[in-house]
Chains A and B, each alone.
Chain A
């Protein structure tokens, strides 16, 4: 991994967001009431993006130092997915793009799908997958999230899927997920690396991607789903 590039991207992203915030404070006084409301909303979104950028860096540093601590608890996967979707739809990366949840095609369940895991870390990992998708797609395109259970296999699993338009070249196949060099134009960035590493190294899951017919699908698979009662 190229530490220098990770650091460069971190400072770039943070400075970009901070610059936007400062820019708004400079112009907001001269705007009309409607624009001010819009700008205040944007400032909130920028703040969230800043927090996410800083947290991504913290995760990365902690992972590299091998001192990331887990706090497992029962997590309702559908609620988590909904919360992530709402949060990322307000993300600065999501302007002119959309994130939607694909309704399940599986038979309705009586109990929610739950995992015993670290909620914040799982939310962070899935967020990095979504961020990877947002960095890959073009304006006007959408990221689709879905949640499925695999109960016919032992042990049963729960799978989060992140689908989006795009292609991955053969050259990228070997480096995807394993390279934290950041590039907003290909799936070889810090986000993809964090998605993969958090899931496989810390959350005891498996991460994969497939590409077919102009679309890419990232998956995060976890065994031991627990039904809440």
Chain B
């Protein structure tokens, strides 16, 4: 009997209220051989997390229903995800004032450079071992 194929790729959850940003980032992650799920709001992300079990979370900062830092705090409040690598993705050129950046593992600046993205994902991966 065949054993079901196991997807051992790292799972990345993307959160952004702009569909196009999700499409672009998801396509890039697929190219880099990550398994990817998308959520268009913080609330949607919190729904997805129990089933998807992300290894990494990338979230936009400015979102209408729930800001990225609020989402990150909510995720960290879940005991099994309190060490989850969570990265803010932002086009803000300044230090993103008004957000609690201490909750994030790092920041990914838009426009997203492929090399930076890979470096960031790799930096998160050792923590997953």
Contacts and interface: CB of A to CB of B under 8 A. Distances in A.
Given A139-B40, A185-B67, A12 B93 contact: yes
A31 interface: yes
Interface of B: prevailing SS: loop
Interface stretch (B5-13, B23-31, B50-58): B23-31
B64 A96 contact: no
Given A92-B20, A95-B19, A15 B40 contact: no
Contact of B91 (A12, A39, A92, A135): A12
Contact of B64 (A16, A19, A39, A135): A135
B62 A184 contact: yes
A184 B18 contact: no
A125 B102 CA distance: 38
A11 B91 CA distance: 8
A83 interface: no
A26 interface: yes
Given A8-B92, A15-B110, A138-B64, A23 B31 contact: no
A27 B92 CA distance: 23
A54 interface: no
Nearest to A8: B94
B94 A26 contact: no
Given A16-B91, A39-B23, A139 B18 contact: no
A198 interface: no
A19 B112 CA distance: 7
B93 A15 contact: yes
A12 B67 CA distance: 16
A23 B93 contact: no
Interface string B47-80: 0000000000000001111010000000000000
Contacts of A183: 98
Given A8-B94, A139-B40, A23 B111 contact: yes
Interface string B93-129: 1100010000000000011101000000000000000
Interface residues of A, number: 30
B37 interface: no
B27 A30 contact: yes
A161 to B, nearest CB: 22
B18 A20 contact: yes
A11 B64 contact: no
Nearest to A43: B20
B20 A42 contact: yes
Contacts of B64: 135-139, 184-185
Interface in A7-32: 8, 11-13, 15-16, 18-20, 22-24, 26-27, 30-31
Nearest to B65: A138
Contact of B25 (A23, A96, A185): A23
Given A15-B93, A138-B65, A185-B64, A24 B110 contact: no
Given A26-B24, A26-B28, A19 B40 contact: no
19 contacts: A12-B62, A12-B92, A16-B91, A19-B110, A20-B24, A22-B111, A23-B112, A24-B20, A24-B23, A26-B24, A27-B31, A30-B27, A39-B23, A95-B17, A138-B65, A139-B40, A139-B65, A184-B62, A185-B64
Interface of A: 8, 11-13, 15-16, 18-20, 22-24, 26-27, 30-31, 39, 42, 46, 92, 95-96, 135-139, 183-185
